[in-house]
Chains A and B, each alone.
Chain A
């Protein structure tokens, strides 16, 4: 048998953790992700299934719904990114396909993203140096796509902390940008 241990987006065996001043930066390697796009003419049925899965109204523009096991982020009209714990939902795309049937197109995204949680008193100072999103007015349940060092990222605000998701192939560049900004405000 081959022994192939999973690697994090930064290529390590365990998640990267940094504490810089008041800021704590934690890589999150255990998120299962899939995109859900309603098919033409099936928008209402798709939203209904999503509402059932979330137990809440599907998030609208600039919003996310942080329910368990599924959290949903609004990506575009009739399109959402769904996240769930990796240990229980590793096959998230096929699980969702069963739920949505022909009402939505599901795409596996789990290994496509690098994910970091950032918390601490200076996090707003940090993100206002990194991206044009209105970070100071963002509150729990707000999520937007923005750019950090030219990388298209999702920035989410949840329970007084920020989560940022960037394409996994840019994980190193994003990490560099985050650390640099964290140091500059500490």
Chain B
């Protein structure tokens, strides 16, 4: 499987390590009234779709960037790759 790194171009999947659902970027706010419930859901409840999934990959043997990879879990086809940093900043985090 080849992952098309936004900065470094096509790289073999063996250079990466896998974390899981990219929803992990959206860490809940610990100061809200529903924080306990939010963190429970953040920690344990994940969709496991047979199809398109946005997931976090880490370029461990490369530039050590976190990527958000959109992958079809049935075919392994990768349709979109973004830097997790850009995704997080677009969502108003780490600005």
Q: Report which A residues bind B (CB closer than 8 A).
A: 61-62, 74-77, 132, 144-147, 152
Say whether A152 contacts B61, CB under 8 Å: yes
Q: Say whether, besides A77-B63, A145-B62, A145-B63, A61 and B7 are in contact (CB < 8 Å).
A: yes
Partner of A132, one of B9, B14, B65, B83: B14
> Complex formed: what's the CA distance from A146 to B61 in Å?
6
A–B pairs, 14, beta carbons within 8 Å: A61-B7, A61-B8, A62-B9, A75-B63, A76-B64, A77-B7, A77-B83, A144-B8, A144-B62, A145-B61, A145-B63, A146-B15, A146-B61, A147-B61
B1-36 interface bits toward A, Cβ cutoff 8 Å, 1 = contact, 0 = none: 000000111001011000000000000000000000
B71 within 8 A of partner (CB): no
> Complex formed: what's the CA distance from A163 to B60 in Å?
21
Q: Which residues of B contact A74 (CB under 8 A)?
A: 63
Q: Say whether, besides A132-B14, A147-B15, A77 and B9 are in contact (CB < 8 Å).
A: no
Q: Which residues of B contact A145 (CB under 8 A)?
A: 61-63
> Complex formed: what's the CA distance from A126 to B9 in Å?
23
> Complex formed: what's the CA distance from A144 to B12 in Å?
14
Number of interface residues of B (CB under 8 A): 14
Say whether B64 contacts A132, CB under 8 Å: no
Q: Which residues of A contact B14 (CB under 8 A)?
A: 132
> Complex formed: what's the CA distance from A164 to B79 in Å?
34
Say whether B61 contacts A76, CB under 8 Å: no
Q: How far is the CB of A122 from chain B (nearest CB, A)?
A: 23
> Complex formed: what's the CA distance from A61 to B12 in Å?
17
Q: Looking at B12, B14, B15, which has the most chain A CB atoms within 10 Å of its CB?
A: B15
Closest to A41 in B: B95
Q: Looking at B9, B14, B61, B85, which has the most chain A CB atoms within 10 Å of its CB?
A: B61
Closest to A132 in B: B12
Q: Which residues of A contact B63 (CB under 8 A)?
A: 61, 74-77, 145
B73-95 interface bits toward A, Cβ cutoff 8 Å, 1 = contact, 0 = none: 00000000001010000000000
Q: Looking at A74, A144, A145, which has the most chain B CB atoms within 10 Å of its CB?
A: A145
Closest to A61 in B: B7
5 further contact pairs, Cβ within 8 A, besides A76-B63, A76-B65, A152-B61:
A61-B7, A77-B7, A77-B83, A132-B15, A145-B63
